[in-house]
Structure 1
């Protein structure tokens, strides 16, 4: 399905706020409410756009995150499928460039993280694995920026059964109505609305169009890794100012920072890479193109049960 400029603007708006009202979306694109609603419905039904609630890793008790790149002996497909089958991986893509595939790991602690890396290294066909362990997320459309730590800012949120039910429903359908959400939470519509706004404001969940690994329309997705001279923070502050940089994290390992560019054309992606290369403090830039998504955000499939958050474990309900 070919998307026009209006469709692209709607996708961008829904990525930023998947629960935007049709009225606000209509004002953004200059169409009537009914035309805008029809456009969004077409994106959902025909273009494969998904609007979901991405759960912050800390809500699932995961505080250790990182990125791995894998070189393979032979075809990358079987290795990517095996890596995607590991519960520690949150997304996996095959790539064009020096690497065969990339993946993100999410684990509760360093011990679990190390076990996940060992499992990737043991996958038949894996030649080498290079790792960057995240210390700080600077920009991400799905999570609030900040250092990764435990205890963290979400640990005092004190999620209960209704919160858990709301998160379960939102991650399947981010645009579910408050009436629908009230039905699963067991609360009144007013109380449900307040709960949802609290979860959104706290950063426990971000509702947005899921386009990082399954781009809709003409978007080109390019990964990049930076090494820097001296301090990382000043470089990171400049990198995240670039509109085309979709996400960026810094940490320890084979590079100092790793991120994703989402651009409308190969030329635009190249221009962004050139701006990164020209940035003061940047030593090297390595880039690759994401070709195929093998696994997406694994919180879509992982039940939010028995996870300790805030004042105690989330209750398990039938």
Structure 2
């Protein structure tokens, strides 16, 4: 189903805040509340829009993140499917470019990341693997930027069984009412509301529209890798400021930084790549087009991997 400009604006607004009120959304797009609500329901029911809670990896005990690119012998599809079966992979896509598959790994530490990487290398059909371990997230629509170090966004927050029940329910239905959430948390609606707001404000969870490779949007999703000739931070700050750059992380490995461009036209994609190439300190830019998401980190079928604390 084709989306018009109003639909696109609603999708972008819901990506930023999936629990935004219909009144706020109506004001944004200049329509009546009832019309806006009907639009959102159509996006969800007919277009497949998902409004879910993205849980910060640190809340699940996952403090080591990284990106891998995979070259294959033969068809890429079976390789991607096998990679998606690995518990360590949080995101797997097929691509158009020098390599056929990309993936993100999330593990508790560097040792388990190395074990996950070995599993990737052992998948039949994998010819070669190059990895970059993340040191810092500079931009991401699903959780706050910053260094990847424990305790991450948790700070002094000690998540209990009620918190984990809320997170598990929100990851399926990000717009669930506080009354519905109270039924799974074991708390009153008022106490549930306070818990949810605390989790949101601390950056433990972000509720938004999952749109990275969602076919309902007319957006081109392009990955890119930067190799730098000097300090990383000055370039990273510039890159994070690009409106078209959806996410960007820096680290150690085959490149210095990995990111994603989301743009409505290929002209805009090209212009953004040209701006990246023109940045002082950028030695080279490699890019690829994401074709299909084989596994999303927010797959509804994927259960929480961290047991609730008592």
The TM-score with structure 1 as length reference comes to 0.95
Check conservation: 2:58, 2:151, Cα contact below 8 A. Answer: no
Check conservation: 2:62, 2:109, Cα contact below 8 A. Answer: yes
Shift of 1:164: 1.0
Shift of 1:305: 6.2
Counting only pairs closer than 5 Å after superposition, residues 264-275 of structure 1 correspond to structure 2 as 264-275=264-275
Check conservation: 2:69, 2:103, Cα contact below 8 A. Answer: yes
Shift of 1:158: 0.3
Gaps of 5+ in 1: 308-312
The equivalent of 1:25 in structure 2 is 25
Check conservation: 1:48, 1:216, Cα contact below 8 A. Answer: yes
Shift of 1:187: 1.2
Shift of 1:142: 0.4
The equivalent of 1:288 in structure 2 is 288
The equivalent of 2:184 in structure 1 is 184
Structure 1 runs of 4+ with >6 Å offset: none
- 1:314 pairs with 2:309: yes
CA distance in 2, matches of 1:302, 1:222: 25
Gaps of 5+ in 2: none
Aligned residue pairs, count: 310
CA distance in 1, matches of 2:13, 2:153: 27
- 1:78 pairs with 2:73: no
The equivalent of 2:138 in structure 1 is 138
Deviates more, 1:61-70 or 1:273-282: 273-282
Shift of 1:141: 0.4
CA distance in 2, matches of 1:215, 1:103: 19
The equivalent of 2:149 in structure 1 is 149
- 1:207 pairs with 2:207: yes
- C-alpha deviations, 1:197-240, integer Å up to 9, x for none? 00000111110000113243211000000011110000000001
RMSD after superposition? 1.2
CA distance in 1, matches of 2:157, 2:301: 23
The equivalent of 2:91 in structure 1 is 91
Shift of 1:300: 4.2
